[in-house]
Amino acid sequence: MKSCRTLIACLIASVFILTIPGVSLAGYDYIDITQPYLRKLPIAVPFFKKISAGDDAAQLSRTLSDLLSDTLDFTGYFKIMNREAFLADPQTDAGFANVTFHDWTSIGAELLVTGGVLVKDNLLEVELRLYDTFKEKLLIGKRYKGGISDQRRIIRRFCSDVIYSLTGDRGIFNTKIAFVSTSSGTKEIYICEFDGYNIRRVTHAKTITLTPAWSSDGQWIAYTSYARGKPDLYIKHLKEKRGTVVSKKGLNITPAWLPNKFDLSATLSFSGDPEIYLLTGTGKVIKRLTNNKGIDVSPAWSPDGKNMAFVSKRSGTPQIHVKNLDSGQVNRLTFQGRYNTQPSWSPKGDKIAYSSMEKGRNNIFVIGIDGQGPIQLTHNEGDNESPSWSPDGNLIVFSSTREGPSRIYVMTGYGTDQRRLLTLKGQQTQPKWSPRMTRK
Amino acid sequence: MRKKLWIILALAFIIPGLLFTASCAKKAVKDDAALAQQAEDEKAMAEKARQEELARQQAIEEERLKEAQEARDMFLNDDIYFEFDSSILTSEAQLLLKKKAEWLQNNPEAMSTIEGHCDDRGTNEYNLALGDRRATSAKTFLVDLGISASRLTTISYGEERPVDPGQNEEAWAKNRRCRFTTN
């Protein structure tokens, strides 16, 4: 990781001064962020132009353009156009720097990304441009330098700029997803990048390990493990060997970190009853947050940290409730269905995703915090559980048995564009989307 | 003739006398053997009785051990079952728990861990809490029957350790259980 950081330090992203007259930053009007998936923006990403000779550049000009279109496609905002329809040859200058806009507008492309790849002594130089083809405007032009191993970073950074110029939001390209997998034979926690790439195992408990939860700075995870024979709560720094274990009598489960604080909530049953408590990141109980005989479990925090959604059986069946921390008042949120669990509060603040069981099958639903809806997002495709919002509030990661074994899937917050995130031995469950990692 | 008569008389006396003595002697010999035999028989009988008593006692002991083993097996193997999304003890569960309480009373040195389990239809997090509630229900019942709480530990496995991986009511019913172990 250290060497990566040194490399990234050498990675220079320079906005080159654009000489084309009339260039201005887009005013975020390309993608209606209230209805972003109603109309997907047709975008053309031709193979990049290889600027240096040699196989490396030829190879990279293809893989990088594929990676870029996959990365943009991940957001659900775009319709990636088929390259077979393209009129311009990407290896000529017309396919890169001197774009003939008519070549693209005539096939319906509204946006165009061109690139040039230069490889020299294992160093990579990539120039990337985003055009509005109808306005005949260059929206972004950047040049990146780095090692060959920095290629994903370069593409992600450019995509982040693309999304920012189109929506005003930085997107999710520097986020990760934690999940549970049985690849090693027992349930352990793994982490991958937002697109399922670069899977890394983080626990080696060789026993049941469950429910990873990210701290709001993305530096810590909390999870439950039976490593000491019972369900204890582990709070672990992801890079340094620091952390603590909360090992009270009974349950120590379902951690959820508070926004912008080194505090977390979790369900503990040392009192004889599962109740939700507020704890410090060092594992000390600050106070009890629920007070009700029967099950209270699975806290999820509103982005302002003032409200906590949780599952309670106080009304007879498991339902999502919301507690206001200031007033102490608890309101029941879900009334449809007899088994509503696993709340995840949207980072935009207005919705809660959860899983609802009917006839033994779980499906993902979204409900407004005012009770509007609920809207069902998954239908008749196996068991669908554990929704978790992306930090920009646009996507939901969840687990599904639609292809047999449980695997991790991603969809938009409206239920469109459902796709598998990764394929791994064993079964994958309980995905949790990280906050945006602060760049270092 | 007289001499002959005398002889006959003598014979008449002597022969029976001889016969008597002979029979007498013979009888005495026979009695000794019988006595020895009797003693031996008695010894054998006693030995047999002793053996039988031993066997009987052994059988009793075996029966007792078997019963103890059965009681132990009952304690360890007879899970108590629950309705879906419920931690309420059914009447069958209560009957079994009474037997388990008896065993715990007869084995005052035994400590037990009560595992709470769920079927896998719900969600993992909620099921961990439900398993905890189930184990606590069973523990509370045993404590109410006079078993010291200090002898009983609870642990929830939620839906993580099914006995039957099947996806049907039969399998689910088997998985919604409390299992007892001794430590």
Q: What share of chain A is helix, strand, coil (3-state, %, to 5)?
A: 15, 40, 45
Rounded-to-integer distance, Cα A134 and Cα A129, Å: 15
| CB proximity list for A329: less than 8 A, separation 6 or greater | A323
Mean pLDDT for the stretch of residues B74-92:
96
Rounded-to-integer distance, Cα A4 and Cα A7, Å: 5
Residue A257: both structure tokens together: 């970190």
% of chain A surpassing 90 pLDDT: 82
Residue type, A436: R
Cβ <8 Å between B128 and A294: no
| CB proximity list for A393: less than 8 A, separation 6 or greater | A346, A347, A348, A413
Looking at every residue in chain B, the average pLDDT score rounds to 88
Mean pLDDT for the stretch of residues A12-30:
46
- Domain edges within chain B: 1-77, 80-182
For A269, which of B123, B132, B160 is closest by C-beta distance? Answer: B132
Q: B21 pLDDT exceeds 50?
A: yes
Rounded-to-integer distance, Cα A413 and Cα A209, Å: 28
Q: Which residues from chain B sit within 8 angstroms of residue A297, using beta carbons?
A: 125-126, 128-129
Question: How would residue B67 be classed by pLDDT, with cut points 50, 70 and 90?
Answer: confident
Q: Which residues from chain A sit within 8 angstroms of residue B136, using beta carbons?
A: 269, 272-273
**Exposure letters B128-159 (e unless 16+ CB within 10 A, then b):** bbbbbbbbbbbbebbeeeebeeebbbbbbbbb
Treating both helix axes as pointing N-terminal to C-terminal, what angle do A55-74 and A151-167 enclose, rounded to 10 degrees?
40
Question: How would residue B20 be classed by pLDDT, with cut points 50, 70 and 90?
Answer: low
Mean pLDDT for the stretch of residues A247-267:
97
Rounded-to-integer distance, Cα B154 and Cα A186, Å: 22
Q: Which residue of A has its CA nearest to B160?
A: A208
Q: Which residues from chain A sit within 8 angstroms of residue B124, using beta carbons?
A: 210-211, 429-430
Cβ <8 Å between A342 and B122: no
Whether the Cβ atoms of residue A333 and residue A309 lie closer than 8 Å to each other: yes
Consecutive H or E run containing A416: none
Radius of gyration of chain B (CA): 39
For A385, which of B123, B155, B156 is closest by C-beta distance? Answer: B123
Radius of gyration of chain A (CA): 24
* A321 inside 8 A of chain B by CB: no
* A271 inside 8 A of chain B by CB: no
ipTM: 0.90
**CATH H-level superfamily of B80-182:** OmpA-like domain (3.30.1330.60)
Q: A57 pLDDT exceeds 70?
A: yes
**Exposure letters B71-87 (e unless 16+ CB within 10 A, then b):** beeebeeebbbbeebeb
According to DSSP, the β-strands at A188-193 and A200-201 are antiparallel
Cα A342 to chain center, whole Å?
Answer: 17
For A318, which of B121, B126, B154 is closest by C-beta distance? Answer: B126
Tokens 């509503």 identify what position? A340
Distance from CA of A230 to the nearest CA of B (A): 7
* A211 inside 8 A of chain B by CB: yes
Walk me through the domains of chain A, giving residue ranges and CATH numbers. Answer: 2-167 (3.40.50.10070), 176-433 (2.120.10.30)
